[in-house]
Amino acid sequence: MIIDERMSAFIDSLDSGNPAWLNEIEKYALDTQVPIIRRSMQSLLKFLLRFTKPKSILEVGTAIGFSALLMSEYAPKDCHITTIEKYEKRIPIAKENFRKTGREDRITLLEGDATEILKGLDGTYDIIFMDAAKGQYINFLPDILRLLPSGGLLISDNVLQDGDIIESRFAVTRRNRTIHARMREYLYELKHHPELETVILPVGDGVTLSTKMVRDEEHRR
């Protein structure tokens, strides 16, 4: 827990909540130990969607479709969401969730390894939401930047690793050291990349918001 647990619970208690059908999917995920975005992250996403009014969203990491469905609920009705998932056991559940909620025409699920799928995508997305394998964020970044337009928003979830990110690599369990090192590299790149302006927030398990800056030549058009 990054912030005080009581404070987090208090903030979450003020949230206006989600539709009952979305709560059911959230409950299923929690009961079956499928990782989904935390309540505080849900609140942040809802605010960002209402504020930015995106027409297109790319999500890396579908799981059972909870976050894609949440975004479809709070984004404009003409916003299309493309989401990527490679875990075969979760793909049918996500598809069924999209079907039974009537969102199949607004959400496209791409099956396979995001590393390969991202390379084959064209165009740009107003918002890109990263919530996949944390050790792969740094590897996804070149294609993510290609797919993010000037003024676009990159949201990266779970970047502070329950606070472990501040620890020495020797204080982290051996099996987590590679992820720890790669996430530190990713955060450094986001904060120092010449095309990005990034803020790191202690929301949920840590989130970064990065906007791709408008280049001078675009200003002059």
> Which pLDDT belongs to residue 217?
53
Nearest to 158 by CA among 132, 196, 193: 132
What pTM does this model have? Answer: 0.92
Q: What residues does each domain of the chain span?
A: 5-212
Angstrom CA distances, 34 to 12, 25, 78, 113, 175, stand at 20, 11, 29, 19, 21
Q: How far apart are CA 118 and CA 122, in angstroms?
A: 9
CATH class of segment(s) 5-212: alpha beta
Residue numbers in the chain where pLDDT is lower than 50:
220
CB 51 within 8 A of CB 43: no
Nearest to 196 by CA among 159, 162, 139, 149: 149
> Which pLDDT belongs to residue 169?
66
> Which pLDDT belongs to residue 179?
74
For the stretch 89-126, pLDDT in tens is 999 999 999 999 999 999 999 999 999 999 999 999 99
> Which pLDDT belongs to residue 218?
56
> Which pLDDT belongs to residue 118?
98
> Which pLDDT belongs to residue 52?
97
> Which pLDDT belongs to residue 157?
96
Residues 6+ apart with CB under 8 A from 152: 124, 125, 126, 127, 128, 211, 212
